[in-house]
Chain A
């Protein structure tokens, strides 16, 4: 039997001469979609050259990619093969939208982290090497294994290898969600639409297509889900001869779950959680259930592999994920209990507010999803409350409103954003179930199709706008601490110079963007507060076994995070900064003077925790205009506050070249006469300097 048709009785067919090839309108829609991608590519190119009209090409391009395919999928005529083709084309086209953003190299921050892992595997032929950029990632070597293997076996570089791996992942994801929804809903039309609506999750276009471990684990998890759904259908409706099929699928699901556990923590936990919930629901509804049994055996295996992998290989992840979730929940609770105010939505780290149409589209996306969920949940209760899989999906979809609350909080926004890739599996299905059963019965009228297609398009584009600020959506000139926009030639050349001249694995501190380049192209040991610790013997006698990761450190052994960011953002270099350099064994500081020219787009200059008097740190030159205002704090004038700001700014700018006291008393020119005792300024490329502070690392 086919997985796609587990339950429906075969309809009587009329022998006729096949008139088509089963592809229907797919070739024409493929053309329109490709033209849309071409417009997107042109929009990107114009953006790179700072031509103002780039958005006028980009968004119509996205509309052409999404809209026509959605309209066709809403129609009843397409055959299954055409629907699969359309979903595949849409998923592939949106993958191209990400690839064309940066078609030559990795530029997203998570991609640099994986690049370091891949380079280490290629260099050492072994897994589990230390990654200073994000140590947790090395405990989940699935993606790096596949990417490095392709690079090794094919001779292609890490970048094309990553594109191929994620391309394969996108293929599995788009086809996998289609089949999963088809098995769950027993309708190709519902499956096609639900698969498209899944693409409305804010992370589908960029985050889910970047070379990061979640991007590979999620497709594999979807594959396990479709296997579980197929097994359930076979057990309920299949014939005894299908036992062999069921056995084969079970073996594949178990192998896949082991590999998912070795690829990404949250995905493996979410998969085990979903399978468990499905099994529980199936058990509770066993007397009136109309679909197959739950995947209890797979749930047990899922929990088992997660627990075993976490305890035996990746125990640091407990301390890594725990605080993130705790902070998000704490923020959510304090918001609900009115102890804190919601964060400013649609406002970037630099204070720029998104245009009105973007805010409307984003809110429209949320509103349409909420309305769709209400109708979908009603239909689930009315027609499907005896189907365990659909009930479980409905329960999953009900989590969505809670994530909206988290989006209003500073720490919860990221958790909410990350969870969307999982939740939209449930949301897409439930919303489309409601829409299908209420408005798509029979032959829908053209106005109805138009309205629904418009709503779906708003959901996808609005979801994309929610997840990605303007600066992240487009390539272009350098912006401060703006992920892909901060990756430019000077930083790259500095990292390559470091590797070529200084050699690899030097311990150094750099800002958020340059750290990624130094850690990958420079293969240096970038020091961070979250990745480096030291034993503070000044408090009490310690056991001198301070682990690399702070979150592993119990309070008893005096492990302290290296406060690396202070070496960049502090206006002075006093005893505490010297102590940081000594305790953290910091040999080099890579200092990018552009840090002091504005606010960071991502909200972070170096690391989290850059707070001054309860507000986000601002290193901007007080003489520079900002947000259209003239220089200086608005309304402050040239009073003491302004002078104090200017003094701090100058101190930060020249602290590595001069003792501020010398600077003011001796009247030296810091631009041409540097010289802080013991600090070597060994490299200068204009914006970026490298300082050798080994003398501080060796003595306090």
Chain B
């Protein structure tokens, strides 16, 4: 009996492990992922298949795999639609609890419905004829002996696949990317205070000069050194607006290594006289 139901007992164990992984948000992500992902894409569907079709001879392994994974996704979608009706909605807790409970209940039904069934799988002749085979197939199959190093070749295939992923990821990480500097100018809650920001994404240490001016008056002219990925934010208090007309505040960014060149970046905002 134990052997006959080993698969469903495994489902129960993995569902409980998946539930714990789903609830324990502090777990290391890889560990959490390894235990929780089967709960979403394999266990509920497999348990449902076992509950609805308890006879293990009715479905082959391939069919059970397709239905197990496919019905798991179906159940996650349906669970999501139902959980969406609750105020709490779809969270790690609601989803993992509902899927784990479903898996356990369906496994229990499967265990009950399997009672009285045969234990063993039918023996198969691995080189013998199969459904749909032509006579030449069996003879050819018996002539073939390609499996001397089957596991070794499979291991090599895995190594090559890992190498392919490594090459692909490395290429994407190291690929040349656009180099640029972000420069911005904003007012805060106080319209008489502006913030000027710079972020260096040039791939190297940069020396900049910021120049902020309004109504012909230079408010600030500062040199700044920034390394790749570093940013800085400067707060500048503006003088009172004179003349009763709208005026601009312009912030320009210059590169020290390009003396005499026009502004590298330019930003501008408008100031308006306060309404009476």
Inter-subunit contact A258/B78 (CB<8 Å): yes
Q: A110 → chain B, closest Cβ, in Å?
A: 19
Q: B28 → chain A, closest Cβ, in Å?
A: 9
Inter-subunit contact A103/B172 (CB<8 Å): yes
Q: B69 → chain A, closest Cβ, in Å?
A: 5
With A38-B167, A168-B41 known as contacts, the answer to whether A671 contacts B126 (CB < 8 A) is no
Please tell me if B120 contacts chain A, counting CB pairs below 8 Å.
no
Please tell me if A30 contacts chain B, counting CB pairs below 8 Å.
yes
Please tell me if A42 contacts chain B, counting CB pairs below 8 Å.
yes
Please tell me if A34 contacts chain B, counting CB pairs below 8 Å.
yes
Please tell me if A402 contacts chain B, counting CB pairs below 8 Å.
no
| Residue in chain B with minimal CB distance to A142 | B77
Partner of B90, one of A2, A13, A149, A220: A149
Inter-subunit contact B55/A245 (CB<8 Å): yes
CA distance A156 to B265 in the complex (A): 38
Please tell me if B128 contacts chain A, counting CB pairs below 8 Å.
yes
Inter-subunit contact A145/B80 (CB<8 Å): yes
Inter-subunit contact A220/B74 (CB<8 Å): yes
Inter-subunit contact A442/B134 (CB<8 Å): yes
Inter-subunit contact A14/B267 (CB<8 Å): no
Q: For window 160-179 of chain B, which residues contact chain A by CB distance below 8 Å?
A: 160-161, 163-165, 167-173, 175-179
Query: Using Cβ atoms and an 8 Å threshold, which residues of chain B touch A48?
Result: 171-172, 175-176
* Stretch of A73-81, A316-324, A509-517, A543-551 with 4 or more beta carbons under 8 angstroms from chain B: A73-81
Query: Using Cβ atoms and an 8 Å threshold, which residues of chain A touch B178?
Result: 478, 488-490, 687
Q: For window 112-129 of chain B, which residues contact chain A by CB distance below 8 Å?
A: 124-129
Q: For window 130-172 of chain B, which residues contact chain A by CB distance below 8 Å?
A: 130-134, 136-137, 140-142, 144-147, 149-154, 156-161, 163-165, 167-172
Total contacting residues, chain A, CB less than 8 A:
139
Inter-subunit contact B262/A100 (CB<8 Å): no
With A248-B52, A677-B246 known as contacts, the answer to whether A497 contacts B74 (CB < 8 A) is no
Please tell me if A164 contacts chain B, counting CB pairs below 8 Å.
yes
Query: Using Cβ atoms and an 8 Å threshold, which residues of chain B touch A672?
Result: 252, 262-263, 266
Please tell me if A681 contacts chain B, counting CB pairs below 8 Å.
yes
Q: For window 255-301 of chain A, which residues contact chain B by CB distance below 8 Å?
A: 255-256, 258-259, 262-263
CA distance A128 to B90 in the complex (A): 12
Inter-subunit contact B74/A255 (CB<8 Å): yes
CA distance A149 to B94 in the complex (A): 10
Query: Using Cβ atoms and an 8 Å threshold, which residues of chain B touch A671?
Result: 262-263, 266
Inter-subunit contact B130/A79 (CB<8 Å): yes
| Residue in chain A with minimal CB distance to B113 | A244
Q: A393 → chain B, closest Cβ, in Å?
A: 18
Query: Using Cβ atoms and an 8 Å threshold, which residues of chain B touch A443?
Result: 134, 136, 140
CA distance A685 to B159 in the complex (A): 42
CA distance A178 to B60 in the complex (A): 13
Contact-residue bracket for chain B: 35 or more
Q: For window 646-700 of chain A, which residues contact chain B by CB distance below 8 Å?
A: 669, 671-675, 677-687, 692, 695
* Stretch of A16-24, A333-341, A553-561 with 4 or more beta carbons under 8 angstroms from chain B: A16-24
Inter-subunit contact A19/B263 (CB<8 Å): no
With A20-B126, A259-B74 known as contacts, the answer to whether A2 contacts B60 (CB < 8 A) is yes
Query: Using Cβ atoms and an 8 Å threshold, which residues of chain A touch B145?
Result: 19-20
Inter-subunit contact A249/B53 (CB<8 Å): yes
Q: For window 1-38 of chain B, which residues contact chain A by CB distance below 8 Å?
A: 18, 21-22, 25, 27, 29, 32-33, 36-37
Query: Using Cβ atoms and an 8 Å threshold, which residues of chain B touch A673?
Result: 250, 266
Q: A255 → chain B, closest Cβ, in Å?
A: 5
**Which of B129, B159, B197 has the most C-beta atoms of chain A within 10 angstroms of its own C-beta?**
B129
Inter-subunit contact A220/B165 (CB<8 Å): no
With A19-B126, A41-B165, A152-B95 known as contacts, the answer to whether A255 contacts B266 (CB < 8 A) is no
**Which of A84, A172, A263, A443 has the most C-beta atoms of chain B within 10 angstroms of its own C-beta?**
A172
Partner of B125, one of A18, A96, A100: A18
CA distance A519 to B89 in the complex (A): 23
Please tell me if A165 contacts chain B, counting CB pairs below 8 Å.
yes
With A154-B29, A172-B66, A176-B66 known as contacts, the answer to whether A103 contacts B130 (CB < 8 A) is no
Inter-subunit contact B67/A252 (CB<8 Å): yes
Q: For window 1-51 of chain A, which residues contact chain B by CB distance below 8 Å?
A: 1-5, 8, 10-16, 18-28, 30-31, 33-35, 37-38, 40-42, 44-46, 48-49
Inter-subunit contact A475/B265 (CB<8 Å): no
Please tell me if B186 contacts chain A, counting CB pairs below 8 Å.
yes
**Which of B145, B163, B252 has the most C-beta atoms of chain A within 10 angstroms of its own C-beta?**
B163
Partner of B172, one of A102, A178, A695: A102
Q: For window 58-89 of chain B, which residues contact chain A by CB distance below 8 Å?
A: 58-60, 62-63, 65-67, 69-81, 84, 88-89
Q: 17 A-B residue contacts at CB 8 Å?
A: A13-B128, A16-B142, A27-B157, A48-B175, A145-B81, A146-B77, A152-B92, A179-B62, A179-B63, A223-B66, A230-B63, A245-B55, A259-B73, A672-B252, A680-B270, A684-B183, A687-B178
**Residues on A close to B: CB < 8 A?**
1-5, 8, 10-16, 18-28, 30-31, 33-35, 37-38, 40-42, 44-46, 48-49, 75-80, 84, 96, 99-100, 102-104, 121, 124-128, 141-142, 145-146, 148-150, 152-156, 160, 164-165, 168-169, 171-172, 175-176, 178-179, 186-190, 216, 219-220, 223, 226-227, 230, 242, 244-245, 247-249, 251-252, 255-256, 258-259, 262-263, 441-443, 475, 477-478, 488-490, 493-494, 497, 501, 669, 671-675, 677-687, 692, 695
- List 3 A-B pairs, minimum CB-CB distance, nearest first: A45-B171, A125-B89, A248-B52
**Residues on B close to A: CB < 8 A?**
18, 21-22, 25, 27, 29, 32-33, 36-37, 39-41, 48-49, 52-55, 57-60, 62-63, 65-67, 69-81, 84, 88-92, 95-96, 124-134, 136-137, 140-142, 144-147, 149-154, 156-161, 163-165, 167-173, 175-186, 197, 199, 201, 246, 248, 250, 252-253, 262-270
Q: For the A-B complex with A103-B168, A223-B67 known, give 17 more contacts whose Cβ atoms are closer than 8 Å.
A: A16-B142, A20-B144, A96-B165, A103-B172, A149-B76, A150-B41, A156-B33, A168-B73, A176-B66, A219-B70, A244-B53, A245-B55, A252-B52, A490-B180, A678-B270, A679-B270, A683-B267
